[in-house]
Copies of this chain bind each other. A is one copy, B any other.
Protein backbone atom coordinates (compact mmCIF):
# COMPACT_ATOMS: atom_id res chain seq x y z
CA UNK A 1 0.00 0.00 0.00
CA UNK A 2 2.91 2.21 0.59
CA UNK A 3 3.94 1.29 -2.87
CA UNK A 4 0.50 2.29 -4.07
CA UNK A 5 0.69 5.65 -2.45
CA UNK A 6 4.00 6.23 -4.08
CA UNK A 7 2.98 5.18 -7.55
CA UNK A 8 -0.12 7.29 -7.18
CA UNK A 9 2.15 10.18 -7.61
CA UNK A 10 3.45 10.71 -4.19
CA UNK A 11 2.09 10.31 -0.74
CA UNK A 12 -0.54 12.57 0.58
CA UNK A 13 0.80 16.08 0.67
CA UNK A 14 3.89 15.08 -1.19
CA UNK A 15 4.67 17.78 -3.67
CA UNK A 16 7.49 17.26 -6.05
CA UNK A 17 9.31 20.20 -4.57
CA UNK A 18 9.82 20.59 -0.86
CA UNK A 19 7.04 22.23 1.05
CA UNK A 20 7.34 25.94 1.68
CA UNK A 21 6.19 28.03 4.54
CA UNK A 22 3.21 29.04 2.43
CA UNK A 23 2.09 25.43 2.20
CA UNK A 24 2.26 25.10 5.93
CA UNK A 25 0.36 28.32 6.44
CA UNK A 26 -2.36 27.24 4.07
CA UNK A 27 -2.69 23.83 5.60
CA UNK A 28 -2.82 25.23 9.10
CA UNK A 29 -5.15 27.98 8.07
CA UNK A 30 -2.95 30.76 9.38
CA UNK A 31 -0.61 33.36 7.95
CA UNK A 32 2.99 32.75 6.99
CA UNK A 33 4.03 35.16 9.67
CA UNK A 34 2.44 32.99 12.32
CA UNK A 35 4.18 29.94 11.00
CA UNK A 36 7.43 31.81 11.08
CA UNK A 37 6.79 32.92 14.63
CA UNK A 38 6.03 29.42 15.80
CA UNK A 39 9.04 27.98 14.10
CA UNK A 40 11.32 30.57 15.59
CA UNK A 41 9.88 30.16 19.04
CA UNK A 42 8.59 33.71 19.27
CA UNK A 43 7.09 34.29 22.73
CA UNK A 44 3.49 35.26 22.26
CA UNK A 45 1.52 32.94 20.03
CA UNK A 46 -1.78 31.33 20.72
CA UNK A 47 -1.26 27.74 21.84
CA UNK A 48 -3.96 26.62 19.46
CA UNK A 49 -2.10 28.13 16.54
CA UNK A 50 1.09 26.58 17.68
CA UNK A 51 -0.63 23.22 17.72
CA UNK A 52 -2.04 23.55 14.25
CA UNK A 53 1.21 24.79 12.80
CA UNK A 54 3.19 21.98 14.35
CA UNK A 55 0.73 19.50 12.97
CA UNK A 56 0.90 20.94 9.49
CA UNK A 57 4.67 20.98 9.63
CA UNK A 58 4.69 17.34 10.62
CA UNK A 59 2.24 16.28 7.95
CA UNK A 60 4.04 18.17 5.23
CA UNK A 61 7.47 17.20 6.43
CA UNK A 62 8.31 20.83 6.13
CA UNK A 63 11.84 22.05 6.59
CA UNK A 64 12.77 25.73 6.27
CA UNK A 65 14.89 26.79 3.34
CA UNK A 66 18.29 27.73 4.58
CA UNK A 67 18.89 29.74 1.45
CA UNK A 68 15.93 32.01 2.04
CA UNK A 69 16.84 32.32 5.66
CA UNK A 70 20.41 33.26 4.79
CA UNK A 71 19.23 35.85 2.34
CA UNK A 72 17.09 37.54 4.95
CA UNK A 73 19.53 37.38 7.80
CA UNK A 74 22.61 37.98 5.82
CA UNK A 75 24.13 35.04 7.63
CA UNK A 76 24.91 31.48 6.81
CA UNK A 77 25.63 29.86 10.10
CA UNK A 78 28.70 28.58 8.36
CA UNK A 79 32.36 29.44 8.62
CA UNK A 80 35.14 28.45 6.28
CA UNK A 81 38.45 26.99 7.25
CA UNK A 82 41.23 27.47 4.76
CA UNK A 83 44.07 25.00 5.14
CA UNK A 84 47.14 24.31 3.05
CA UNK A 85 47.04 20.58 3.57
CA UNK A 86 44.32 18.52 5.12
CA UNK A 87 46.73 15.61 5.36
CA UNK A 88 48.64 17.36 8.11
CA UNK A 89 47.64 16.15 11.58
CA UNK A 90 48.08 19.63 12.92
CA UNK A 91 45.37 21.09 10.73
CA UNK A 92 43.19 18.07 11.17
CA UNK A 93 43.30 18.61 14.89
CA UNK A 94 42.41 22.25 14.61
CA UNK A 95 39.66 21.49 12.13
CA UNK A 96 38.19 18.98 14.50
CA UNK A 97 38.41 21.40 17.39
CA UNK A 98 36.80 24.24 15.50
CA UNK A 99 34.22 21.93 14.04
CA UNK A 100 32.91 20.62 17.34
CA UNK A 101 33.09 23.97 19.06
CA UNK A 102 31.21 25.67 16.24
CA UNK A 103 28.64 22.91 16.15
CA UNK A 104 27.84 23.76 19.73
CA UNK A 105 26.61 27.12 18.51
CA UNK A 106 24.76 25.82 15.51
CA UNK A 107 27.56 26.62 13.12
CA UNK A 108 29.16 24.31 10.61
CA UNK A 109 32.51 24.53 8.96
CA UNK A 110 33.34 24.43 5.32
CA UNK A 111 36.78 23.15 4.40
CA UNK A 112 38.83 24.78 1.72
CA UNK A 113 41.98 22.82 1.05
CA UNK A 114 44.43 24.85 -0.95
CA UNK A 115 46.53 21.73 -1.50
CA UNK A 116 49.75 23.58 -0.85
CA UNK A 117 49.13 25.94 -3.73
CA UNK A 118 50.16 29.18 -2.12
CA UNK A 119 49.27 31.17 -5.19
CA UNK A 120 45.64 30.14 -5.00
CA UNK A 121 45.38 30.89 -1.34
CA UNK A 122 43.95 34.37 -1.69
CA UNK A 123 41.44 33.39 -4.31
CA UNK A 124 40.39 30.40 -2.27
CA UNK A 125 40.00 32.42 0.88
CA UNK A 126 38.04 35.11 -0.90
CA UNK A 127 35.75 32.60 -2.48
CA UNK A 128 35.28 30.80 0.79
CA UNK A 129 34.41 34.03 2.51
CA UNK A 130 31.64 34.69 0.07
CA UNK A 131 29.95 31.49 1.06
CA UNK A 132 30.44 31.93 4.77
CA UNK A 133 30.04 34.35 7.63
CA UNK A 134 33.67 34.24 8.57
CA UNK A 135 36.88 32.36 7.95
CA UNK A 136 39.62 30.60 9.82
CA UNK A 137 42.80 31.17 7.90
CA UNK A 138 45.74 28.81 8.03
CA UNK A 139 48.25 30.17 5.57
CA UNK A 140 51.69 29.42 6.95
CA UNK A 141 53.50 30.24 3.77
CA UNK A 142 51.71 33.32 2.54
CA UNK A 143 54.06 36.31 2.58
CA UNK A 144 53.28 38.79 5.34
CA UNK A 145 52.27 41.67 3.10
CA UNK A 146 49.90 39.57 1.07
CA UNK A 147 48.49 38.18 4.26
CA UNK A 148 47.85 41.62 5.71
CA UNK A 149 45.99 42.66 2.60
CA UNK A 150 44.02 39.46 2.47
CA UNK A 151 42.73 39.47 6.00
CA UNK A 152 41.18 42.87 5.70
CA UNK A 153 39.27 41.73 2.66
CA UNK A 154 37.87 38.62 4.27
CA UNK A 155 37.11 39.85 7.78
CA UNK A 156 35.75 38.61 10.06
CA UNK A 157 38.68 36.26 10.21
CA UNK A 158 40.89 34.54 12.73
CA UNK A 159 44.34 33.61 11.60
CA UNK A 160 46.18 30.61 12.87
CA UNK A 161 49.85 30.59 13.65
CA UNK A 162 50.55 34.00 12.22
CA UNK A 163 51.13 37.20 14.08
CA UNK A 164 49.59 40.19 12.35
CA UNK A 165 50.67 43.79 12.54
CA UNK A 166 47.22 45.22 12.13
CA UNK A 167 45.00 45.08 15.17
CA UNK A 168 41.43 43.94 14.79
CA UNK A 169 42.39 40.56 13.55
CA UNK A 170 42.57 38.05 16.35
CA UNK A 171 45.11 35.35 15.90
CA UNK A 172 45.70 32.22 17.82
CA UNK A 173 48.90 30.40 17.57
CA UNK A 174 51.73 28.50 19.04
CA UNK A 175 54.89 30.02 20.41
CA UNK A 176 57.24 27.98 18.30
CA UNK A 177 60.29 30.02 19.17
CA UNK A 178 59.71 29.51 22.84
CA UNK A 179 59.01 25.83 22.34
CA UNK A 180 62.17 25.19 20.42
CA UNK A 181 64.16 27.05 23.06
CA UNK A 182 62.73 24.83 25.73
CA UNK A 183 63.78 21.89 23.65
CA UNK A 184 67.29 23.21 23.21
CA UNK A 185 67.49 23.73 26.95
CA UNK A 186 66.40 20.16 27.51
CA UNK A 187 69.01 18.85 25.12
CA UNK A 188 71.76 21.03 26.51
CA UNK A 189 70.78 19.98 29.99
CA UNK A 190 71.32 16.42 28.88
CA UNK A 191 74.83 17.35 27.79
CA UNK A 192 74.38 17.97 24.09
CA UNK A 193 76.31 20.82 22.51
CA UNK A 194 76.28 20.05 18.82
CA UNK A 195 72.71 19.98 17.55
CA UNK A 196 71.01 19.84 14.20
CA UNK A 197 67.70 21.39 13.25
CA UNK A 198 65.93 19.61 10.44
CA UNK A 199 64.10 22.56 8.96
CA UNK A 200 60.57 22.77 7.65
CA UNK A 201 59.41 24.30 4.39
CA UNK A 202 61.45 27.34 3.58
CA UNK A 203 58.61 29.87 3.29
CA UNK A 204 56.78 28.59 6.33
CA UNK A 205 56.29 31.19 8.98
CA UNK A 206 56.37 28.73 11.82
CA UNK A 207 59.67 27.44 10.50
CA UNK A 208 61.02 30.95 10.67
CA UNK A 209 59.79 31.18 14.25
CA UNK A 210 61.64 28.05 15.17
CA UNK A 211 64.78 29.36 13.51
CA UNK A 212 64.47 32.52 15.53
CA UNK A 213 64.16 30.52 18.72
CA UNK A 214 67.22 28.58 17.75
CA UNK A 215 69.21 31.71 17.01
CA UNK A 216 68.24 33.05 20.43
CA UNK A 217 69.39 29.87 22.07
CA UNK A 218 72.71 29.96 20.27
CA UNK A 219 73.19 33.56 21.23
CA UNK A 220 72.48 32.78 24.84
CA UNK A 221 74.91 29.94 25.15
CA UNK A 222 78.23 30.35 23.40
CA UNK A 223 79.24 26.73 23.26
CA UNK A 224 76.00 25.49 21.78
CA UNK A 225 76.00 25.02 18.08
CA UNK A 226 73.01 24.25 15.85
CA UNK A 227 73.43 23.13 12.29
CA UNK A 228 70.44 23.73 10.07
CA UNK A 229 69.64 21.06 7.52
CA UNK A 230 66.97 21.12 4.84
CA UNK A 231 64.06 18.95 5.82
CA UNK A 232 60.40 19.31 5.01
CA UNK A 233 57.09 18.63 6.69
CA UNK A 234 56.19 15.03 6.02
CA UNK A 235 57.28 11.50 6.83
CA UNK A 236 59.06 11.23 3.51
CA UNK A 237 61.01 14.37 4.12
CA UNK A 238 62.28 13.05 7.39
CA UNK A 239 63.37 9.79 5.85
CA UNK A 240 64.99 11.56 2.93
CA UNK A 241 67.14 13.62 5.26
CA UNK A 242 68.77 10.63 6.88
CA UNK A 243 71.92 10.86 4.82
CA UNK A 244 72.59 14.42 5.76
CA UNK A 245 71.69 13.81 9.37
CA UNK A 246 73.95 10.83 9.67
CA UNK A 247 76.76 12.75 8.09
CA UNK A 248 76.32 15.46 10.69
CA UNK A 249 76.32 12.83 13.38
CA UNK A 250 79.60 11.38 12.22
CA UNK A 251 80.84 14.92 12.20
CA UNK A 252 80.00 15.34 15.86
CA UNK A 253 76.35 16.22 16.13
CA UNK A 254 74.60 14.34 18.91
CA UNK A 255 70.98 15.41 18.69
CA UNK A 256 68.46 16.44 16.07
CA UNK A 257 65.35 18.54 16.38
CA UNK A 258 62.90 17.93 13.59
CA UNK A 259 60.48 20.50 12.21
CA UNK A 260 57.58 18.38 13.39
CA UNK A 261 56.69 14.89 14.55
CA UNK A 262 56.05 13.56 11.09
CA UNK A 263 59.54 14.49 10.02
CA UNK A 264 60.97 13.06 13.22
CA UNK A 265 59.10 9.81 12.74
CA UNK A 266 60.27 9.49 9.17
CA UNK A 267 63.81 10.14 10.27
CA UNK A 268 63.54 7.64 13.08
CA UNK A 269 62.50 4.92 10.68
CA UNK A 270 65.35 5.69 8.30
CA UNK A 271 67.85 5.85 11.14
CA UNK A 272 66.74 2.48 12.41
CA UNK A 273 67.15 0.98 8.97
CA UNK A 274 70.59 2.45 8.84
CA UNK A 275 71.49 0.92 12.17
CA UNK A 276 71.89 4.15 14.06
CA UNK A 277 70.76 3.74 17.63
CA UNK A 278 68.37 6.32 19.06
CA UNK A 279 68.93 7.75 21.56
CA UNK A 280 72.21 5.89 22.09
CA UNK A 281 74.11 7.35 19.17
CA UNK A 282 71.77 10.20 18.42
CA UNK A 283 68.91 11.92 20.18
CA UNK A 284 65.85 12.85 18.15
CA UNK A 285 62.96 15.17 19.00
CA UNK A 286 59.85 16.30 17.18
CA UNK A 287 57.21 19.00 17.49
CA UNK A 288 53.40 18.90 17.83
CA UNK A 289 52.96 15.72 19.86
CA UNK A 290 50.69 13.97 17.41
CA UNK A 291 49.08 10.81 18.81
CA UNK A 292 51.59 8.55 17.10
CA UNK A 293 54.53 10.20 18.83
CA UNK A 294 53.99 8.29 22.05
CA UNK A 295 53.80 5.01 20.16
CA UNK A 296 56.92 5.41 18.12
CA UNK A 297 60.01 3.36 18.68
CA UNK A 298 61.56 4.81 20.68
CA UNK A 299 58.75 6.95 22.02
CA UNK A 300 59.34 10.42 20.68
CA UNK A 301 60.36 13.36 22.81
CA UNK A 302 58.39 16.29 21.47
CA UNK A 303 56.65 19.56 22.18
CA UNK A 304 52.99 19.21 22.86
CA UNK A 305 50.62 21.75 21.42
CA UNK A 306 46.97 21.68 22.47
CA UNK A 307 45.32 21.24 19.10
CA UNK A 308 41.79 20.79 20.30
CA UNK A 309 41.96 23.69 22.70
CA UNK A 310 43.48 25.76 19.98
CA UNK A 311 40.52 24.97 17.78
CA UNK A 312 38.15 25.92 20.56
CA UNK A 313 39.91 29.23 21.07
CA UNK A 314 39.70 29.94 17.39
CA UNK A 315 35.96 29.40 17.50
CA UNK A 316 35.49 31.57 20.56
CA UNK A 317 37.17 34.45 18.83
CA UNK A 318 35.43 33.91 15.57
CA UNK A 319 32.06 33.82 17.27
CA UNK A 320 32.87 37.07 18.98
CA UNK A 321 33.75 38.71 15.71
CA UNK A 322 30.61 37.48 14.03
CA UNK A 323 28.58 38.87 16.89
CA UNK A 324 30.34 42.16 16.42
CA UNK A 325 31.95 42.10 19.81
CA UNK A 326 35.21 43.92 20.42
CA UNK A 327 38.08 41.87 19.13
CA UNK A 328 39.93 39.68 21.50
CA UNK A 329 43.67 39.96 21.72
CA UNK A 330 45.93 37.46 20.12
CA UNK A 331 46.69 34.36 22.10
CA UNK A 332 49.59 32.03 21.81
CA UNK A 333 50.02 28.73 23.50
CA UNK A 334 53.34 27.79 24.89
CA UNK A 335 54.19 24.24 23.89
CA UNK A 336 54.79 21.79 26.70
CA UNK A 337 57.93 19.70 26.53
CA UNK A 338 57.10 16.03 26.51
CA UNK A 339 60.21 14.09 27.36
CA UNK A 340 60.10 10.49 26.26
CA UNK A 341 62.64 7.96 25.14
CA UNK A 342 64.15 9.39 21.98
CA UNK A 343 66.37 11.85 23.79
CA UNK A 344 69.09 11.01 26.27
CA UNK A 345 72.54 12.12 27.29
CA UNK A 346 75.16 11.78 24.56
CA UNK A 347 77.90 9.31 25.22
Q: Which residues of A contact B (CB under 8 A)?
A: 63-68, 70-71, 74, 76-78, 80, 86-87, 92-93, 95-96, 99-100, 103, 108-113, 115, 128, 130-131, 234-235, 239, 265-266, 268-269, 272, 291-292, 294-297, 299
Contact = CB atoms under 8 A, between A and B. Distances in A.
Contact of A87 (B76, B80, B92): B92
A294 B64 CA distance: 49
Contacts of A294: 235, 269
A266 B96 CA distance: 22
A295 B113 contact: no
A67 B78 contact: no
Contacts of A295: 235, 239, 265-266, 268-269
Contacts of A92: 86-87, 92
Nearest to A64: B130
Given A87-B92, A295-B265, A66 B111 contact: no
B99 A95 contact: no
Contacts of A80: 108
A112 B107 CA distance: 10
A108 B87 contact: no
A289 to B, nearest CB: 13
Contacts of A130: 63-64, 66
A183 to B, nearest CB: 22
Contacts of A71: 65, 67-68, 70-71
Contact of A111 (B68, B109, B296): B109
Contacts of A128: 108
Contacts of A299: 269
A108 B108 contact: no
A115 B101 CA distance: 11
Given A272-B297, A297-B269, A99 B111 contact: yes
Nearest to A76: B67
B96 A113 contact: yes
A140 to B, nearest CB: 18
Contacts of A86: 92, 95-96, 99
B63 A67 contact: no
